[in-house]
Amino acid sequence: MKTFEIIGLIAATLTTSSFIPQVYKAWKHKSTTDISLVMYLILFIGSMLWLYYGLMIQSLPVIFANGITGTLVAFVVILKLKYK
């Protein structure tokens, strides 16, 4: 595997897992006032479309990254609606 491919995998892991601290913070503090619901709704739709695209081009990294991102983003939407 070439160096830049490893960097691509690290990038995918970082951008995907970056939502975990936001889910944790919203869940722990039960406060989401400053979080933009519009952002997370758009992000959810976007990651679902990326997931479809990944399935079409049969790219495991795209499928994997957006499956997780979509799930984490859905959690933030639920927490946002719960603790408006």
Q: What residues line the site for its own copies (CB under 8 A)?
A: 4, 7-8, 10-15, 17-22, 24-26, 29, 31-36, 38-40, 42-43, 45-47, 49-50, 52-53, 56-57
Nearest CB to its own copies, comparing residues 46 and 67: 46
Q: Let me know: does 12 contact 50? Beta carbons within 8 Å.
A: no
Find the distance separating the first CA and the last CA of the chain, reported in whole Å.
45
Nearest CB to its own copies, comparing residues 15 and 81: 15
Nearest CB to its own copies, comparing residues 57 and 60: 57
Instruction: State the nearest-atom distance from the C-beta of 74 to its own copies, in Å.
Output: 14
Which tokens sit at 35? Answer: 């979080």
Give long-range contacts, CB 8 A cutoff, 24+ apart: 5-9: 8/61, 9/61
